[in-house]
Amino acid sequence: MRLLEERIRKDGVVKEGQVLKVDSFINHQMDIHLFNEMGKEFKRLFADKNINKILTIEASGIGLACIIAQHFDVPVVFAKKAKSINLDGEMYCTKIESFTHKRVYDVIVSKKFLSEDDHVLIIDDFLANGCAVAGLVDLVRSAGATVEGVGIAVEKGFQQGGQLLRDKGLQVESLAIVESMNHETGEIVFREQ
């Protein structure tokens, strides 16, 4: 998506250690106009899918998911990072490893909000190693629901997550895929799509 790539080139900041900061428009301050354009593009990319729910994970995916949801006219459910596992049987649980925070989270969704009738679009702001999305796929499948697709704002194409998920047959659509970036020059190369 040209608009997002241009915005990343303009306002994204490449930091040492292959870190791409997009906190001025995606995941700390949020540009709602841009999110709406992304929503239109996801609607186009998943036009043939019968989606009735969007699933994301707290925190930075939530805003994007809510704006995108308007283009599909569906509710959003966000998975929560649990302080402690709820053992009362009311929750679907999975574990997600965060490389950023160097820890493993228990992640939960109430059984009330995912069922076998659901056709789910998973939304997140970033895809790198793919652990968060894999965890969300696991939650959807625990409920007997169907993953119709995965929509990502920014994929780090030089990490393995996108490839692993596509190899499993999932339709993964990333609006910008970074092939490489250089923190000394600030240069960012996007994959042609």
Write out the residues near its own copies by the rule CB under 8 A. Answer: 23-24, 28-32, 35-36, 58-59, 62-63, 65-67, 69-70, 74-78, 80, 83, 101, 109-110, 112-113
Measure CA 26 to chain center. 12
Measured from the CB atom, the residue of 96 and 165 that comes closer to its own copies is 96
CB closer to its own copies, 49 vs 81: 81
Pick 32 or 85: Cβ nearer its own copies? 32
Q: Which of 56, 57, 76, 53 is CA-nearest to residue 66?
A: 76
Residues in the chain: 193
144 vs 168, beta carbon nearer its own copies: 144
- To its own copies, the closest distance from the beta carbon of 91 in angstroms equals 10
Q: How many other CB atoms are there within 10 angstroms of residue 29's CB atom?
A: 10
Task: Pick the closest to residue 25 from 10, 43, 42 (CA basis).
Answer: 10
Q: Which is nearer to its own copies, 80 or 119 (CB)?
A: 80
The minimum distance between CB 30 and its own copies, in angstroms, equals: 5
Side-chain half-sphere exposure of 51, counting CA atoms within 13 A:
29
Q: How far is the CB of 40 from its own copies (least distance, A)?
A: 14
Residue 50 Cβ vs its own copies, minimum distance, rounded to whole Å: 18
In the bound complex, what is the minimum distance in angstroms from residue 157's beta carbon to its own copies?
A: 27
Of 145, 174, 164, which Cα lies nearest the Cα of 64? 174
In whole angstroms, the minimum distance from the beta carbon of 163 to its own copies comes to 29
- In 119-171 the beta strands, taken as DSSP E runs, fall at 119-127, 146-156
Q: Tokens for 187?
A: 């240069």
Distance CA 54, CA 65 (A): 7
Residue 3 is inside which H or E element, if any? helix 2-11
Cβ proximity to its own copies: between 82 and 189 the closer is 82
